[in-house]
Amino acid sequence: MQRLAGLNLTPRINAAGFDENPCTRSEVTLYKETMTLGPLDAEELEIFKAQFGALIAAPSSDERKIMLDRLSVYVIALRAIKHELNDVKFKGLNPEDTEIGFGLIRPMFLRAGAAATYLANWIVNLAVAGTWQNWFHQVGAPIPLPNSFGLVITHLKSLETPIPFMSECAFQVGRTGILIPFDVRMLQVGDTENGTSIIPIPSMIAKPNGSLFATAVADTAGIDNVALGGLVIGLGRTLRLNSATAIWP
């Protein structure tokens, strides 16, 4: 947890004159999109440091290791989404309606299929071997995210036993039009320290009013159960909902 404790608000200027501190740098470019980062004050940073550790899994878990390794990405995502939400205060796990908070990604924050269809679980039907299937989408097109939350995605977790089916997936985030493919066959091996079906993927930030699209393919047809690993960051009135009907217009 030294990385978490080491977060601070002192700029870290490199030899080229750029600030490398995720807590203080002014912008970041990811997949050809430059994001402006909102400010964090000392209180907000301390809330993040105190509560991020409560969100991630047990000390021996592979997921915890991945999330700590991507700590700077989570800070940058928080600040990018905070900027899009008019820089209202970040209050962590228990925000008021008009404050910003965070939590683990739940299926209800994603959509698949018809315009009004949101997910109730992480099940994905990879019905035809070797054929790419739409995964997260709206009638085959990118999901337009509402103006109340964003997502930061860093890894995948398959809950299917004994062997997951997903072999590759591809994501398109934002307006760049770039579909980014990832080989995730190592989900099927589960040869990490704890034998879990989890794999890191390149970090992605989907901002409020942005978009997200994903497809997937399996070498062997089957129904998988693949969860997005990362955080949902948004307004308290959205994060506390138990039903997605109020999220999606």
- Residue 192 pLDDT greater than 70, yes or no: no
Give me the phi and psi of 117, to 5 degrees please.
-100, 120
Q: What stretch of H or E contains 166?
A: strand 166-173
Pick the last residue of a domain from 69, 101, 133: 101
User: In which band, very low, low, confident or very high, does the pLDDT at 178 lie, cut at 50, 70 and 90?
Assistant: confident
- pLDDT tens digits, residue range 71-91? 999 999 999 999 999 999 999
Q: Smallest Cα–Cα separation from 143: which of 103, 182, 108?
A: 108
- pLDDT tens digits, residue range 10-66? 999 999 989 999 999 999 998 888 999 999 999 999 999 999 988 886 666 888 899
- pLDDT tens digits, residue range 51-72? 998 888 666 688 889 999 999 9
Give me the phi and psi of 90, to 5 degrees please.
-90, 125
Q: How many domains does the chain have?
A: 2
Residues 125 and 193 reside in one and the same domain: yes
Mean pLDDT lowest for which of 20-29, 51-60, 154-163, 208-217? 51-60
Residues 133 and 194 reside in one and the same domain: yes
pTM of the model: 0.94
- pLDDT tens digits, residue range 227-237? 999 999 999 99
- Residue 166 pLDDT greater than 90, yes or no: yes
Domain that holds residue 58: 2-101
What is residue 73's DSSP assignment?
Answer: H
Pick the last residue of a domain from 101, 119, 145: 101
